Structure 1
Amino acid sequence: MLHNDPIASLTPEVIAWRHHIHCNPELGFDENETARFIAEKLRAFGFDEVHEGIGGTGVVGVLRSGTGTRAIGLRAELDALPVVERTGLPYASRNEGVMHACGHDGHTAMLLGAARLLSQSRAFDGTVYFVFQPAEENEGGSLRMIEDGLFERFPVEAIYAVHNWPGLEQGTIAARAGAQMAAVDNFELTFEGFGAHAAMPQLGDDPILAAGAFVQAVQRIVSRSIDPQTALVVSLTQIHGGNVGNIVPGRVWLQGTCRFFEPGHSDHCEKLVGEIAHGIAAAHALKATLDYHKGYPPLINTADATARAIAAAAATVGSENVTTEFSPSLGCEDFAFMIRAAGGCYAWIGVGDVGPGEGLHGDRYVFNDEIVPTVLRYYVNLVEQTLPAS
């Protein structure tokens, strides 16, 4: 462990970095200034190597100590969301319509803080790769970095990440071996026919009627096609059709998502969404066009890495404040690609309860800066316990 608690001394600076990143948010694969800020900090910390432009705007810092050949990775995300911020913070977003509404600014700043601490102490034996990835939210920046040779260039025995977690008591850390976050598939569906005057619908087709039937019928995937004790969610998130009050439109477009933990449910959902869509289209004399996209896999923490993460968490907050028995989330996380490729563990950091609109992706979401020293200490413990100095 580091002595004289430099973590407490560094915390205000880490929070200042977080506020800087927060007021200058950038969307996925456009995080150019954020990546530049990170690379400059890592170089100023005296890192052995700093690599930029990996998978687009990704940054990897390399920190070595001792003679050990073992290596682990620590990862944070760079991107913000297309959300109009309504927090009223003095450091609120300066980029209209873009907001750090999920805490990636905090995750990045805390990983930079850990980089600073470990570069000063070097109280470990081996190599730590600090991975700052672009485009977590929707574009799969994690996979892009892997395809760009991340783990061939920076091989690790496991990679670790954290996420602030509203609803989990502050002062607690949660991690479990096995599935912790769900897989996600997305689909777009169009019903097309002929429009007609609203007073004479018999002269055209009615894709709105078909869309309504689909919204109801697609839920049979959850209620009637799988074991009811198995987690699966099918949600319709957008419906667009028509632009005037007295015309039945000729086209309606829908968007939806499927969330699950069993990888086999991806093919199952794709098959049934298609069968239901085309069946309803045929019943309404319409054409259906389906674009089904297989997205992030389930995030499945590996056993050895999770045991190390739990040990580091216990050293950080006490074993009584480490949660390992909990229900996984049907939210998704593209860190799943990195764990699938290299093994690892994703931990939730409790931030307490929040109000409406103040949770993840809400326009009044505010990152809880009080967790900063906890995460700094967790990362230091994780590195020093996993790669102990001789």
Structure 2
Amino acid sequence: MPGAKTGHNTGLSQTDLEELTTWRRDLHRLPELSGQEIETAETVQRMLRAFAPDTLLTGLGGHGVAAVFDSGQPGPAVLLRCELDGLPIHEVGDLPYRSEKDGHGHLCGHDGHMSWLAGMARVLSRRRPAQGRVVLMFQPAEEDGAGAARVVADPAFAQLAPDYAFAIHNMPGMPLGHVALGSGPVTCASAGMRVTLTGRTAHASLPETGISPAPALARLMPALTALGHGQPKDHDFTLVTVTHARMGEPAFGVAPGEAELFVTLRTRTDDGMEALRQQAEAMVRDAADAGGLAVRIGYEDVFVTCNNDATATDIARRALDKLGTHVDDAALPLRGSEDFGRFGAGANLAFMLLGAGEGAATIHNPDYDFPDTLIAPGVRIFSAIVDEILG
């Protein structure tokens, strides 16, 4: 594979890889949305029990599952994380393992990420680390930003207490097998801002007797978008994207009295997000006041910045260097968001991207599919990182 040599021996056989591929494709057929990953979690639990972890925790932060492989000797705890959830996107194409759930799809590659940790379960069941312990964390609800926060807040998570945390995300558009890794911000903070404007409906022939949100809505969409500036490499980068707008009901006889606006806010830093929120909220309230409207503002899909710790990044880079993997940070930070940053509150953290091919369909596209050729490299990278820390 371009960009990655096979110097690190995980001990996985060709039969192992074929079984992991089949398992991944079975997951692909039955995606579940954020917070609904009941069957997926049960499938993961069955797989893990077959490899006899020393501890198996379930129901973490919802449907999260964690398997601990313990050396029995003092040493650091290393957490490796993948995600359970799919997306509310209808899959297209003619894959023999295409999603069997209409409108749901594993179109971000979380099925492939789970196969990496399933591979690590095989590796660790055959060879425990020389010291410390490894935690395989199958996390729920990454796509809506809620999962990692709930896992970390779960009282049972205290049993895991990782010293280090690592995650890999496949990335179409990057050369197959190349890795993007760097210290500092690697993904942006983001927040879904939900604005509801309320006036008074009227008959369409007498609009002056009502209070319409139309002028405020028309004013806010370009004004909020204009708050964005710069690029992710800029410390003060901001991006504001209008993702949904609705006004009144689909009728010709009613002048609308209510409107709703969805806006996604993005910043490179968490401090920048707080400043952008204040700016956006002030703009919304000014527009509502000018139109005589009541206003309600709420937030959903909230992600903090994912910051790579220098120590964890150096460890991952050393492991990747030993594998002969091409590594650079040119693609970082991403505009997108990733809730893995929540694990950095108590652990040295590193998040990296693994190239899925320059011509591959982009994640969240309806024709995306995780490339099975990445199963072995992903397991190899995780295994090399564990060996770098725990021996």
Q: TM-score, normalised by structure 2?
A: 0.91
Aligned-residue Cα RMSD (Å) equals 2.2
| Residue 301 (structure 1) aligns with | 308
Once residues 18 and 287 of structure 1 are traced to their aligned partners in structure 2, the CA distance between those partners, rounded to angstroms, is: 49
Asked whether 1:334 is paired with 2:305, we answer no
State the SS of the aligned residue for 1:362.
Answer: coil
Return the offset for 1:24. 1.2
Check whether the contact 2:180–2:352 (CA below 8 A) recurs between aligned residues: yes
Among 136, 153, 160, the residue aligned to 1:154: 160
Asked whether 1:312 is paired with 2:284, we answer no
The residue correspondences of 1:175-194 to structure 2 (distance < 5 A) are 175-194=181-200
| Residue 148 (structure 2) aligns with | 142
Check whether the contact 1:23–1:94 (CA below 8 A) recurs between aligned residues: yes
The residue correspondences of 1:147-296 to structure 2 (distance < 5 A) are 147-149=153-155, 151-222=157-228, 230-242=236-248, 243-292=250-299, 295-296=302-303
Return the offset for 1:6. 2.8
Check whether the contact 1:28–1:79 (CA below 8 A) recurs between aligned residues: yes
Once residues 4 and 59 of structure 1 are traced to their aligned partners in structure 2, the CA distance between those partners, rounded to angstroms, is: 23
Check whether the contact 1:7–1:117 (CA below 8 A) recurs between aligned residues: no
| Residue 91 (structure 1) aligns with | 97
Return the offset for 1:61. 0.6
State the SS of the aligned residue for 1:310.
Answer: helix
Asked whether 1:76 is paired with 2:82, we answer yes
Among 356, 366, 371, the residue aligned to 1:368: 371
Asked whether 1:381 is paired with 2:388, we answer no
Return the offset for 1:331. 0.6
Asked whether 1:31 is paired with 2:31, we answer no
Moved over 6 A (4+): none
Choose 253-262 or 113-122, whichever is displaced more.
113-122
Once residues 129 and 229 of structure 1 are traced to their aligned partners in structure 2, the CA distance between those partners, rounded to angstroms, is: 34
Check whether the contact 2:187–2:332 (CA below 8 A) recurs between aligned residues: no
Once residues 354 and 74 of structure 1 are traced to their aligned partners in structure 2, the CA distance between those partners, rounded to angstroms, is: 28
Once residues 10 and 269 of structure 2 are traced to their aligned partners in structure 1, the CA distance between those partners, rounded to angstroms, is: 47
Check whether the contact 2:225–2:242 (CA below 8 A) recurs between aligned residues: no
Return the offset for 1:65. 2.5
Once residues 287 and 333 of structure 1 are traced to their aligned partners in structure 2, the CA distance between those partners, rounded to angstroms, is: 33
- Matched positions, count: 382
Once residues 67 and 129 of structure 2 are traced to their aligned partners in structure 1, the CA distance between those partners, rounded to angstroms, is: 17
Q: Which runs of 5+ in 2 are unaligned?
A: 1-6
State the SS of the aligned residue for 2:284.
Answer: helix
Please give the per-residue CA displacement for 1:86-141, whole angstroms capped at 9, x wherever unaligned: 13211111122211111111000111112102221335332101111111110511
Q: TM-score, normalised by structure 1?
A: 0.91
